[in-house]
Amino acid sequence: MRGPGAVPGLYATESAMNELAHQLKIDPVKLRIMNEPKIDEGSGLPFSSRHAVESFELGVEKFGWSRRTPDVGSMKRDGLTLGWGMAGCAWLAGRFAAAASVQMRDDGTTRVACATQDIGTGTYTNLAQLAAYRTGVPLEKIEVALGDTTLPAGPISGGSLATASVIPAVFAAADSAISSLITVAATTPGSPFENRNPEDLAFEDGKVFVKADGAGKGMSFAELLQRANLRLVTGSGDAPATFGDPNGKFSTHSYGCHFAEVTWQPEIARLRVSRVVSVIDAGRILNPLAGRNQIQGAVVMGIGMALFEHTSYDPQNGAPINSSMADYIVAVNADAPPIEVHFLDFPDKVINELGARGVGEIGLAGIAAAITDAVHHATGVRVRELPVKIEDLLA
């Protein structure tokens, strides 16, 4: 249910790449690097930023891929047969239309607001980070308001585009609020900047100052508002969508790869994913902790896709038979292996000023193909229809 299009599509294409590599007796990483495109061959457009090869190289290093022996069933550990597999991943990038507002208050706090929502992906933290970055107000003094239709219109939580979409809107709103604050500084009687040309003033780290004097002689925005007897200044900002633009000049995507290890115990037909290393090229990562959590969660979903999740339908009426969580099997804690996540740091300034792209759905894209490649390496069985079933491996 996450990553529509790319997730099942990449299972097919990445599995085909792995089968081709096996038939040609070429390392699957090497095959992908040999076929690295110069442009997006589907659209004919240049990439805004693409570092897939760097992700492959880092994945090889972190996973220890050079120790892989290509023969089926040739790797053992603690009496178990090991299987090592890999796959590339990609996900679209861009922006939905978004708007935001920023208030700077006389108590030294700042409020940033947008009608988008936080569904557990860290939007509250991201907006606070953005407001703090632009205004210089400490993070603990930032209030974030989300999820209300009375607020400036925000993006939907879809396509891993929310964060990339709100960045230019929040920055524009903060700049608008700062511009209003500078006007207040230049026009308030008794202000140290009274009658100054606003163009001579600047704002940094929560202070207004004369450019020629430097920030050391500035005054905090809270004190300026108090002198002006103003409760707050407000700024609004918006940014247009780039997603789906038929006149776009670049192909905008995130990239990466997954390396998976499985263990196979044929005596009792036990197959488990024992280790995963993911490397993601998603531009600048605003919150590495939350971003890593997104990829780890998506990998666990991919383990469910590869090994457990399947809907059975009643042939009489088409209704799903296993339609409850009591019958529909998903991955649980015991199925989740150590998952190592690494992010590259190549900001994509075509997307937004900070160069950030989304990191949600790309973690699910490609992982099932890496797991089934590892299954083949361990068992010699090439599974093309998910999930992998024990009867597939015992046939």
Compute CA distances 335 → 158, 300, 303, 355, 382, whole Å. 27, 8, 8, 35, 22
The angle at the Cα of 4, spanning 153 to 242, to the nearest 5 degrees, equals 40
Long-range contacts of 22-26 (CB under 8 A, 24+ apart): 22/376, 25/70
Nearest to 21 by CA among 87, 120, 110: 87
Q: Which two tokens stand for residue 215?
A: 């920030």
Q: Which two tokens stand for residue 214?
A: 């430097």
Q: Which two tokens stand for residue 389?
A: 């079933």
3-state secondary structure 22-78: HHHCCCHHHHHHHCCCCCCCCCCCCECCCCHHHHHHHHHHHHCHHHCCCCCCCEEEC
Active site residue 361: yes
* Residue from 57, 204, 361, 385 carrying the catalytic annotation: 361
The total of other beta-carbon atoms located within 10 Å of residue 74's CB is 13
Whether residue 275 contacts residue 338, with contact meaning beta carbons closer than 8 Å, is answered with yes
3-state secondary structure 149-161: CCCCCCCCCCCCC
Q: Which two tokens stand for residue 113?
A: 């607001």
Whether residue 128 contacts residue 142, with contact meaning beta carbons closer than 8 Å, is answered with yes
DSSP state of 388: P
What number of CA atoms fall less than 13 Å from residue 23's CA on the CB side? 7
Active site residues: 361
